[in-house]
Amino acid sequence: MVIIFKTSKLERVLNSERLIIKRYGPRRSELIKRRLYELKAATVLEDLRNIPQLRCHELKGNRKEQLSVDLDHPYRLIFEPADNPAPRKDDAGLDWTKITAIKIIGVEDTHE
């Protein structure tokens, strides 16, 4: 899967061993790197649906159209489809079988 980042600063932090540890600490940094690797290895978003430890799912409310994968509770890696327009099913939901690019938005506690 193609991965882009919301900002160049976020890309710089998540791709630098020193900066990612400084920002997120050693444990969360390892989880972030693992999740990015898993996302890159997927061909389409649907490939991630059945990996239990990821808990890849669509968000609701003001985060509609965004998705997340678990890190360490309560933090998640937040992203959205980067395909423009985002592939849709007949019911207007996201078509995970056709999403081939994502934009990383950040690492957040979505329950705040």
Single out the residue of 63, 73, 70, 71 nearest to residue 94, CA to CA.
63
- pLDDT band (50, 70, 90) for residue 42: very high
pLDDT digits (tens, 9 = 90+) for 52-80: 889 999 998 889 889 999 999 999 999 99
pLDDT digits (tens, 9 = 90+) for 1-29: 999 999 999 999 999 999 999 999 999 99
Average pLDDT in the chain? 93
Strand partners, 1: none
Task: Evaluate if residue 112 carries a pLDDT over 70.
Answer: no
Q: Report pTM.
A: 0.92
Distance (Å, whole) CA 53 – CA 99: 20
